[in-house]
Amino acid sequence: MISQRNFWFILFIFTLLIFTLTLKIGYVNMSFKESFEALFFISDNSNISYLIWELRIPRMISAFCVGGVLALSGAILQSVLKNPLASPFTLGLSQGAAFGASFSIIILGSATFSIAGFDNISYVVIGAFGGALISSLFVLIFSTIKKINSQGLILAGVAIAAFFNAATMLLQYFSNDNQLAAAIFWTFGDLSKGKWTEILFVCSFWFLGLLFIILKGWDFNTIVWGDNHAKSLGVKVLSLRIYALLFSSLLAAIATAFYGIIGFVGLIAPHVIKLLFENPKHHFLFFSSSVLGGVFLMGADLLAKQVLSPITVPVGILTAFAGVPLFLFILIKRSLRD
């Protein structure tokens, strides 16, 4: 166990290290001097300035925001469902988004439109967002059935994921080669898909998510001791559970819609916090998990650039490799405890 002060200090050092290396390392390597000159607008090389400010920094901020959003969504789901295996990926939200994206690519095409001052919003993004919300609606319906416990809800998520996977494969079977390639490529979690507009969307929802936990953190603390205890303290447990499911689903949906499937971040970050701190309060659990998720995804993206350099591996592949062992570890640990 470490103190919260030491935790934030170590996390800050890691963030600074990853930030520095990300500026320097990539398909085109550069010196620290060149990268920092471009960062502070004192470089005479316009190509390096473009590389830093239009490619590397947006990708870095995307990683931090997407990781933060997915980790916050996972932490909320685990708390409200009282199940350590709950996450956007294990509940089928990511698979619903993949179906929505495939439907848009194969049936509707990849056209764009403008809304509320934002230009070139793709139908693929709307399709993925809609698919994730439909999946979350199924989860929400199952969660209101009294005889379904948290373990049963995870199994329901597995069934939802299987259904959307089958529907996606059906669409892909009747697609042409170009549509199939586009649909499969979308499922790779790739942080290069997002630019400043996408970052603004994701960061806005992240801010709303943090505001939600500030307002509802005390309520989450009470449900740890059981629904009846929480009700005796005036907490509307059913309303809290519904709002939490809807909001966490919305967070996961917006990140997945823009950046594809990046699994297990929402599973990894909250569990690392629970391993480092015994019985953390929910305000700290949610916020620290969110920040840790952002730093983790930044580090994973940096590794994705180097593991098969000069080829950049989609970051969703690396997070899956990291998440599967943790998922199995949690499953075995629960089985031994029970």
pLDDT in tens, 179-238: 888 888 888 888 887 778 889 889 998 999 889 888 888 888 888 777 787 888 888 887
For residue 245, pLDDT over 90 is answered with no
Tokens, residue 117 = 């001052």
Higher pLDDT, 129 or 338: 129
Q: What pLDDT is stored for residue 337 in this prediction?
A: 63
Give CA separation, 34 vs 14, 23, 41, 242, in Å.
22, 10, 11, 50
For residue 116, pLDDT over 70 is answered with no
Q: Which run of H or E residues covers position 122?
A: strand 118-122
Burial degree of 282 (CB within 10 A; 0-12, 13-18, 19+): buried
**CA nearest to 107, candidates 164, 174, 186:** 174
Q: What pLDDT is stored for residue 334 in this prediction?
A: 64
Q: What pLDDT is stored for residue 19 in this prediction?
A: 93
Which residue's entry shows tokens 């819609």? 257
Share of the chain above pLDDT 70, in %: 93
Quick one: average pLDDT of 258-286?
88
Which of 49-53, 55-59, 145-149, 221-225 shows the lowest mean pLDDT across its residues?
145-149
| Alpha-carbon span 138 to 156, nearest angstrom | 9
From first CA to last CA, the distance across the chain in angstroms is: 25
Q: What pLDDT is stored for residue 120 in this prediction?
A: 56
pLDDT digits (tens, 9 = 90+) for 25-38: 877 778 888 888 88
